[in-house]
Structure 1
Amino acid sequence: MKKISVVIPCYNEEENVGPMAETLVGLFRHELAAYDYELIFIDNDSQDRTREYLRALCAENHKIKAIFNAKNFGQFNSPYYGMLQSTGDATVLMAADFQDPPEMIVKYVAAWEEGYKIAIGIKTHSAENPLMYHLRSLYYKWIRKLSEVDQIEHFTGFGLYDKSFIQVLRDLDDPTPFLRGIVAELGYRRKEIPYDQPKRRAGKTSNNLYKLYDAAMLSVTSYTKFGLRLATFLGGITLVVSVVIALIYLVMKLLYWDRFQAGLAPLLIGMLFLGAVQIFFIGMVGEYVLTINQRVMKRPLVVEAERLNFESEDAEETR
């Protein structure tokens, strides 16, 4: 019997983990009864009662497993690490808040059985703030034009991945993984399945402007040369413009020595402009250096504090 692993990252999802587990167990008992399954909840140091509820779920069903991180390791490392712990013939990654519809798993498995090693969901509409959805659309279009890799628009990571691709992720050994870019760059032939993203079932999202910026910059620094090339081009253009202005001022001063007053305003404006350009690109280069630094340090993706229900599987493998 083939086995499907479902990885569900969570952070402060006390209102959602129970209903999500119940929904998924029901899905495998009815629509996907021909498959064995495991549900892996990986908790990113929740501050509410999420872990308490996960302990109860694991006690009731040995196929429900949990990993408790020692601290919050970010929105990318924790899901990625959870996928690496899966043991199924295919692994599904989805959010705990029901914005990734569980019924999509049936479609993913059908595509997998057709021969696709990757089946992913593409948002065609979202119940989130319309302004945020359109800003995301602009971002995706912008990053696709700048990236050397054909990035996937409105893809959050929600999808099914064959165990052969999970092995690719294990071999990659990337301490700062960006799954959306990795799927686009290294993934097998995939099937993209459209879906409408509903609102969160309950609770409040942990995403904020800083986390969205962090995701955008990781994508930019990992898959584009845009920032560095822009600094080079703008620096060259600024140099040419500065030389031309300097020559014009020199000629004007020589021709109209007594009447032409250069003043301090052009000098002050020029200094402020060049200073702003330098500070901006020092920050941009810093983003690239930060990404390089994180990769060079080779820190672990996650440090576990505890894991539940993995021991029974290890014992079976030993026998």
Structure 2
Amino acid sequence: MSDQTESSVLISIVTPCFNEEDNVSELVERIGTALAPFPKYDYEHIFIDNASTDRTVERIKLIAQTNPKIKLIVNTRNFGHIRSPVHAIMQARGAAIITMASDLQDPPELLGAFLKQWEAGYKIAVGVKPKSRETFLMTLVRRTYYRTIGRISDVKLIPDFTGFGLYDRSVIDEIRKIGDPYPYFRGLISELGFEYATIPFEQPRRLRGITKNNFYTLYDLAMLGITSHSKVPVRLAAMAGFLLALLSLGVSITYLLLKLMFWDYFTVGTAPILISVFFFAAVQLFFIGIIGEYVLSIHSQVMKRPLVVEKERINFERESITLTKLEPPCGYV
């Protein structure tokens, strides 16, 4: 923990949101209830809105009028579910930062458990969801992805971890130094190597609204995790190319020998040739796609675009429209 007096320790809670008008009010209430037993902590709750098209911004502004702890950043457009949360984290001033979703599937009731683990000396305390009340298919897909990337990753990733958790200021400062313009936050936490505590929970079913994740966003997140923390796919492409070349050479030699031995009546026909051509073409396209994902990852790093561009701020000491830059850490309050 930081060297602040117990009566003035500030905790920052960061919540990204997009079209969550039905959930933000209950989220604020449940967070206040969860932190009430910890009077030695003050807190700020930073919402960052990705240009919602419903009344999410309006409702947060209404809450912020009577509750100065509630702060709001509104983006000029939807910058995605990867860049926007990290920008908000960089604006947080607390000695510890807690990240959680706005759909109430990250239970605010776990905040007390996070704080207790932080007080015990852990720099990181995260929620993991070995069980979920999502549909069976979605649960199976997520679990398969987590297990697969955990096996091929260069570092040991936290199983069933979605980003929901508490991070000491020193952890956030290290992420700031990295300056990744398109960060895979879950992987960065493992990459840094800080000792962490896990708090298991059963993820509840979404009660209101619909999920904003679609196939593309889930695919984007999956590929980002793989390209950021594993060389295995590229190595597999190289090894597969070598093995297929040996296989092709072996088939060619076998065909030549059989043709020389049985010249008059040995024929293969067009079907095996067509099947082989399409098979090798499919393998080539697959691995070209894999390499393309790595190239896209490099491209994102080279572009060095800001995480987001802000439209407005509410309840911050200095309200301004800013470009996100990973500047030196701001001080505690």
Deviations 1:133-182 (A, max 9, x none): 12211211111111111011110100000111111121110011011101
- Equivalent position amino acid for 2:24 in 1: V
Q: In the TM superposition, what are the counterparts of 1:1-319 in structure 2 within 5 Å?
A: 1-28=8-35, 30-311=36-317
Q: What is the CA-CA distance between 1:130 and the residue it aligns to?
A: 2.0
Q: What is the CA-CA distance between 1:313 and the residue it aligns to?
A: 9.3
Counterparts of 1:291 and 1:182 in 2: how far apart (Å)? 15
- Equivalent position amino acid for 1:21 in 2: V
- Equivalent position amino acid for 1:184 in 2: S
Select between 134-143 and 38-47 the one with higher mean Cα deviation. 134-143
Counterparts of 1:187 and 1:228 in 2: how far apart (Å)? 25
SS of match in other structure, 2:21: coil
CA contact (8 A) 2:47 2:73 kept: yes
CA contact (8 A) 1:165 1:187 kept: no
> Where does structure 1 differ by over 4 angstroms across 4 or more consecutive aligned residues?
none
Counterparts of 1:246 and 1:26 in 2: how far apart (Å)? 73
- Equivalent position amino acid for 2:241 in 1: G
Deviations 1:250-286 (A, max 9, x none): 1111111111123222222221111111111111111
Deviations 1:220-272 (A, max 9, x none): 11111122111111111111111111111111111111111232222222211
Distance of aligned partners of 1:313 and 1:264 in 2 relative to their CA distance in 1, 3 Å threshold: closer
SS of match in other structure, 1:301: coil
Counterparts of 1:36 and 1:264 in 2: how far apart (Å)? 75
Identical-pair percentage? 48
Counterparts of 2:114 and 2:308 in 1: how far apart (Å)? 28
Deviations 1:282-302 (A, max 9, x none): 111111101110011111111
SS of match in other structure, 1:81: helix
- Equivalent position amino acid for 1:213 in 2: Y
SS of match in other structure, 1:157: strand
Counterparts of 1:245 and 1:109 in 2: how far apart (Å)? 64
Distance of aligned partners of 1:313 and 1:305 in 2 relative to their CA distance in 1, 3 Å threshold: closer
TM-score by length of 2: 0.91
Q: What is the CA-CA distance between 1:312 and the residue it aligns to?
A: 6.1
Select between 287-296 and 186-195 the one with higher mean Cα deviation. 186-195
Q: What is the CA-CA distance between 1:212 and the residue it aligns to?
A: 1.2
- Equivalent position amino acid for 1:234 in 2: A
CA contact (8 A) 2:30 2:109 kept: no
CA contact (8 A) 1:42 1:79 kept: yes
CA contact (8 A) 1:118 1:187 kept: no
CA contact (8 A) 1:45 1:70 kept: yes
TM-score by length of 1: 0.95
Unaligned regions of 5+ residues in structure 2, if any? 1-7, 321-330
Counterparts of 1:193 and 1:26 in 2: how far apart (Å)? 19
SS of match in other structure, 2:73: strand
Q: What is the CA-CA distance between 1:2 and the residue it aligns to?
A: 0.5
SS of match in other structure, 2:161: coil
